[in-house]
Amino acid sequence: MPINLRIPGPVPLPQEVREALAQDMIDHRGPEFASLFGEVTEGLKYVFQTKHDVLILTASGTGGLEAAIVNLLSPGEKALVVINGFFGERWFEIARAFGVEAIPLRFPWGLGAEPEDVRKALIKAGDCKALLITHNETSTGITNDLEAITKAAYSIENPPLILVDAVSSLGAIDLRPDEWGCDVVVTASQKALMAPPGLSIISVSPRAWEAYEKAKLPRFYWDFRKAKEYALRNQTPFTPALSVLFGLRKSLKLIREEGLAVVFDRHRAVAEFTRQGVKSLGLSLFPDEKWASNTVTAVRIPPEFRADELIERLREGYGIVVAGGQGALKGKIIRIAHIGRVTAEEMAQVIAALKELLPCSRS
């Protein structure tokens, strides 16, 4: 049975990427690596839509979030954390783990953050060194309006650094770090970048580098400056996840060939197709549709059905692998991801299977 992997990362790999992964190892201090690293970095800057530094760390996306905290903040400094899902909570936990005075600004799960509320909370908290925000919440299937939120944050005196978890959005949903003033944007290799997990990729603005100079948390493996110094000679300080780089070179080439604007449009179209399909079954979306994400669709499961059983039957009977709810949403929703080279046909299969498994729901 062919597998239709519809979890929000790792995503299915294009055939060309899989072939690239089988390449044998090379010297990570040699000329062939330098050319690989240069090509990947250039491709990443294109997808990140940034002229600033883009650093590559061998870690999962969470490692990249931790790196952002330990490079830019100091214990006792305030950070406002926008929380409207599982990954917002993770930002909060990481900041707290390192002694940052993390101030939560919570919104109901399924809604996006209100820019005006963010502005007020920043003023009320006073003297926030950073604003931590998750661009796209796969846990609830929403995308925060990052452009409007950064604008609100910059409207106050002494605007905070803007640190963005863009793990499930970058390369699929428009995000403009330089234009919007995002100081650090963190993503990972296994989502819209269509490579295996193993690399976290981070853009760093000039303002972030200024903060780096003053930040006092201890760091070694995550050190941005070390990563930048090595990047200047097309290397990494420590042996990188080479095969992931091989894959990433190929997937970045695919993205460039298609064009970023087309990739964004394609994600929007397949997401819209999915939402319409889900609704045509009489099911409702978990999030307010105004905020619905173009990379993952979260669907309420009617109380007469068990979500875990549904997920199991999709897997066993149809080869369709979707995700369940996290935290408080466990058992209440399923999450169908459409990140990367996904087609409307693949989403139609999911809708058709749901139709069989949830007969007459609401009809």
Residue 3 binds to its own copies (criterion: CB under 8 A): yes
Smallest separation (angstroms) from its own copies to the CB of 259? 24
Query: Which strand ranges, in their side-by-side order, compose the sheet holding 333-337?
Result: 296-300, 333-337, 323-324
Q: What is the chain's alpha carbon radius of gyration, rounded to the nearest angstrom?
A: 20
DSSP secondary structure string, 234-252? T--SS---HHHHHHHHHHH
Q: Buried (b) or exposed (e) across 313-347, using 16+ Cβ within 10 A?
A: ebeeebebbbbbbbeebeeebbbbbbbbbbebebb
Give the count of beta carbons closer than 10 Å to the beta carbon of residue 307.
Answer: 21
Rounded to an integer, what distance in angstroms lies between the CA atom of residue 21 and that of residue 42?
20
In the complex with its own copies, the residue whose CB is nearer, 219 or 253, is 219
User: Which amino acid is residue 108, in one-letter code?
Assistant: P
Number of residues that bind its own copies (CB under 8 A): 54
Residues between 318 and 347 with contacts to its own copies, criterion CB under 8 A: 321, 323
Residue 19 binds to its own copies (criterion: CB under 8 A): yes
Residue 218 binds to its own copies (criterion: CB under 8 A): yes
* Of 45, 151, 219, 256, the one binding its own copies by CB under 8 A: 219
User: Which amino acid is residue 322, in one-letter code?
Assistant: V
Residue 235 binds to its own copies (criterion: CB under 8 A): no
Tokens of 126: 């006073």
In the complex with its own copies, the residue whose CB is nearer, 150 or 190, is 190
- Residue 158: which region, alpha, beta or left (left: phi > 0; alpha: psi -120 to 50)? left
Smallest separation (angstroms) from its own copies to the CB of 308? 12
Residues between 184 and 213 with contacts to its own copies, criterion CB under 8 A: 188, 190, 196-198
Helix or strand (DSSP H, E) at 4: strand 4-5
Residue 23 binds to its own copies (criterion: CB under 8 A): yes
Smallest separation (angstroms) from its own copies to the CB of 218? 5
Residue 22 binds to its own copies (criterion: CB under 8 A): yes
* Of 55, 244, 263, 285, the one binding its own copies by CB under 8 A: 244
Residue 171 binds to its own copies (criterion: CB under 8 A): no
Residue 289 binds to its own copies (criterion: CB under 8 A): no
Residue 53 binds to its own copies (criterion: CB under 8 A): no
Residue 277 binds to its own copies (criterion: CB under 8 A): no
Residues between 85 and 144 with contacts to its own copies, criterion CB under 8 A: 93-94, 97-99
Contact indicator for 54, 202 with CB cutoff of 8 Å: yes
User: Which amino acid is residue 252, in one-letter code?
Assistant: L
Helix or strand (DSSP H, E) at 178: helix 177-180
* Of 1, 24, 157, 232, the one binding its own copies by CB under 8 A: 24
Angle at 293 between CA 253 and CA 12, to 5 degrees: 40
Name which of 43, 49, 44, 45 is nearest 176 in CA terms: 49
Residue 314 binds to its own copies (criterion: CB under 8 A): no
* Of 4, 49, 58, 144, the one binding its own copies by CB under 8 A: 58
Residue 242 binds to its own copies (criterion: CB under 8 A): yes
In the complex with its own copies, the residue whose CB is nearer, 93 or 229, is 93
Residue 360 binds to its own copies (criterion: CB under 8 A): no
Contact indicator for 248, 56 with CB cutoff of 8 Å: no
Tokens of 77: 């400094």
Stretch that binds its own copies, among 58-66, 249-257, 270-278, 354-362 (CB under 8 A): 58-66
Residue 229 binds to its own copies (criterion: CB under 8 A): no
Query: CA 257, 262, 267, 273 torsion: positive or negative?
Result: negative
Torsion of CA 263, 108, 326, 140, to 10 degrees: -20
Stretch that binds its own copies, among 17-25, 290-298, 346-354, 355-363 (CB under 8 A): 17-25
Angle at 39 between CA 37 and CA 45, to 5 degrees: 100
**Interacting residue ranges for its own copies, rule: CB under 8 A:** 3, 5, 7, 9-13, 18-19, 21-30, 58-63, 66, 93-94, 97-99, 188, 190, 196-198, 217-221, 237-244, 247, 315, 321, 323
